[in-house]
Structure 1
Amino acid sequence: PDSLKLGGEMRDLTLLFCDVRGFTTISEQFDPVGLTALINKLLTPLTNAILERRGTIDKYMGDCIMAFWNAPLDNENHAIDGCRSALAMLAEMEPLNARLEQEAKEEGRKHVPLKVGLGLNSGPAVVGNMGSDQRFDYSVLGDTVNLAARLEGQSKSYGMNVVIGASTYAEVKDSLACIDLDFIRVKGKLEGVYIYGLLGDEEVAQKPEFKDLQKLIYDAQEAYRHQKWDEAQTMFDEIRRRGNDENKCWDLEANLDVLCDVYDERIAEYRVNPPAADWDGVFVATTK
């Protein structure tokens, strides 16, 4: 009976937000019945990927999934389980799109491939039964949650499938394949945060060519933050070249061209209008 009362507790959690890119455009092709069927076909395999790795589904919001780890059951590996779930969710998209393409062909309509963006963040949050006396849900609240949602929103801007926060990165960096993305101040926050891209599993992380790329991306961003524009530009050109290599060392659709475009534009701008003397390398994100 105690579990049916309103109230929460503070716990360290890993939060995941998953959203379908361009879903509004895709949904225009379907009537309400068809759209409901499409959502179910999408959410079922993605949900299974979360539940199989000890995740808790918080809620579905249309085409968006919100999930978390380390509540109600203890899980000291919550960050790595969250990231492995994200990779498993991406792996589900290829067979799902193949099925949807076949159905579209049979029904004589155009197939628009579904793509998802994910954001993960770890840290303290309030978890428990939230709501009113009449109705409540087992859910989470807090800054950690809000930042996870913002990171999902930034994924497309950096050409990434998965963006993770610094606290998640600290837990998974020795196991999974991650790269530095940026030092940003997200909308609604006063302090800058380091953000990272998740590019693959343990196998990818161990490849020498991935480790080289990882270091090159880190060095390029360090040069950028120290306002060494020429040095940074040369490194981003090399990153772009490696990103377009047919034998690239990761298997996700991460697009390093987009990441390089982000920095090329900023470097070009700063050459003309140098940043303030007290600039700490932070980029102020204006989009959610």
Structure 2
Amino acid sequence: MKRGTFLKLKQVGFIVIAWMLIGLIIAIYDHLVLHTQVSLGTATNYSFFISVLRNMGAGLIGALLGGSLLVFYIDEKFRDKPYAYTILIVFICFVLIVGFITIVMGLTIVPYQLKKPLTDPITQQAVLSFMTDSYPLKSGLVWAFIVALTQLLLQVSSKFGHETFFHILIGKYNTPKAEKRIFMFLDINASTSIAERLGNERYHSLLKDFFADITNPILENKGSIYQYVGDEVVVAWSYKDGLEKSHCVKCFFDIKMTIERKRDKYTQLYGFVPTFKAGIHSGNVIAGEVGIVKRDITYSGDVLNTTSRILGKCGEFKEEVIISADLLSLLSSAKEYSSRLLGSIRLRGKEREIAILALLPQHVHSANI
């Protein structure tokens, strides 16, 4: 299973659990309201168990249908649309889903309560009363808010990145933590001349398409997008994920293949296919949450400066991707790549130097960028 699909299934799973819990809370709330002094009391056929079943069942069906719709369709097809526009689309779909859930609940709960088959005229009349009751309207108002909030959270999650958003929610980095991380700095070649040739709007469109197209290769190689800086993207891995199957190196060449497969698209839209270069390095960082109005998780440490300097060496040596020798020595499954020693760079403010190597697949010869 592709990692992108796996992440979306995890999102649907969270929605299923959350919506079923909300259904339980609604049932408890209704039960408490019905037993207050300002209430006329419960109906003769009221059952707390049936209420729980009804609300949690609605949450389950709604999450499986609506949650999947939000994650796999709305979030994909309308990611570039304003939030208000997506809410309108979600509302229309939601009305249809509520109607479907009401029908399903009526056809299952009413016969169970009456202990009569659906073919019985009394049962049929009770089903009709169930569907025309004000209860579905009340539930619709409540769930409309829940669906809108869920869609908002999905968009916020996309804004921060799923992993970052989850870590902010649980407060993992409220206290700074020392971690070992692998970083890849990747940017487009000749971006200044490209921007002058295309103009600001088309250049922005190019960046948007490029960053969108490289997202799946990054996710499939277990990377997370740390930040975008102009025409540059910074990708981060934990040591475990980055070293596994040489994901941190394979990611670059998977991105290259992805852009190559989209050659016709870029040629038609922009008149050329963007090329790019990358520097890859690893080391210790301090990860911590920063910001008040805008909160984010940032990494600090020499490894980031060193990776940026390695990226700068790509132009000097005319290589596509350069990796530090320290990191390459840790990649036990990197035999499919050949390397060529380029020299060493000194760490800023330190005496120690690190060796850097050009990297390319075994069957490819070094090419100028």
| Equivalent of 2:296 in 137, 158, 173 | 137
Measure how far apart 1:25 and its partner are. 0.6
Measure how far apart 1:173 and its partner are. 6.0
Kept in 1, the 8 Å contact 2:323–2:359? The answer is yes
Superposed CA offset, 1:124-148 (max 9, x none)? 111232x222222122111111111
Identify the residue that residue 95 of structure 1 maps to in structure 2. Answer: 261
Kept in 1, the 8 Å contact 2:173–2:297? The answer is no
> Does residue 1:250 correspond to 2:364, yes or no?
yes
Instruction: Decide which structure has the larger Cα Rg and report it.
Output: 2
Kept in 2, the 8 Å contact 1:150–1:186? The answer is no
Distance change (3 Å), C-alpha of 1:188 and 1:29: farther
SS in 1 for 2:329: helix
| Equivalent of 1:118 in 278, 285, 294 | 278
Q: TM-score, normalised by structure 2?
A: 0.49
SS in 2 for 1:43: helix
2:303 aligned partner, one-letter code: T
CA distance in 2, matches of 1:4, 1:16: 23
Identify the residue that residue 199 of structure 1 maps to in structure 2. Answer: 360
Distance change (3 Å), C-alpha of 1:113 and 1:186: farther
CA distance in 1, matches of 2:217, 2:247: 10
Any unmatched runs of 5+ in structure 2?
A: 1-168
RMSD: 2.5
CA distance in 2, matches of 1:95, 1:172: 27
Measure how far apart 1:81 and its partner are. 1.2
SS in 2 for 1:13: strand
Distance change (3 Å), C-alpha of 1:79 and 1:8: farther
Kept in 1, the 8 Å contact 2:186–2:276? The answer is yes
The more displaced of 112-121 and 165-174 is: 165-174
Identify the residue that residue 223 of structure 1 maps to in structure 2. Answer: none
Higher relative contact order (CA 8 A, sep 6+): 1
> Does residue 1:27 correspond to 2:195, yes or no?
yes
Identify the residue that residue 180 of structure 1 maps to in structure 2. Answer: 341
CA distance in 1, matches of 2:245, 2:179: 13
SS in 2 for 1:198: strand
Identify the residue that residue 80 of structure 1 maps to in structure 2. Answer: 246
Over the matched positions of the two proteins, sequence identity in percent amounts to: 21
Superposed CA offset, 1:37-82 (max 9, x none)? 11111111222211111111111112100110018xx637368211
Measure how far apart 1:29 and its partner are. 2.4
Kept in 2, the 8 Å contact 1:123–1:167? The answer is no
Kept in 1, the 8 Å contact 2:223–2:242? The answer is no
CA distance in 2, matches of 1:52, 1:63: 22
Distance change (3 Å), C-alpha of 1:86 and 1:70: same
CA distance in 2, matches of 1:56, 1:96: 22
Kept in 2, the 8 Å contact 1:181–1:197? The answer is yes
Distance change (3 Å), C-alpha of 1:76 and 1:57: closer
Superposed CA offset, 1:88-136 (max 9, x none)? 11222323343221234xxxxxx3442111001011111232x222222
| Equivalent of 1:151 in 307, 310, 313 | 310
Aligned length: 199
Distance change (3 Å), C-alpha of 1:190 and 1:112: farther
Measure how far apart 1:186 and its partner are. 5.9
CA distance in 2, matches of 1:78, 1:151: 22
Q: Structure 1 residue runs of 4+, over 6 Å off? A: none
CA distance in 2, matches of 1:11, 1:152: 22
CA distance in 2, matches of 1:79, 1:139: 26
SS in 2 for 1:75: helix
1:86 aligned partner, one-letter code: F
Identify the residue that residue 210 of structure 2 maps to in structure 1. Answer: 42
Identify the residue that residue 30 of structure 2 maps to in structure 1. Answer: none
Kept in 2, the 8 Å contact 1:20–1:117? The answer is yes
Distance change (3 Å), C-alpha of 1:184 and 1:142: same
CA distance in 1, matches of 2:264, 2:349: 39
CA distance in 1, matches of 2:220, 2:242: 16
Question: Larger % of helix: which?
Answer: 2
Question: Larger % of strand: which?
Answer: 1
Superposed CA offset, 1:165-185 (max 9, x none)? 122111226524222221233
Q: TM-score, normalised by structure 1?
A: 0.62
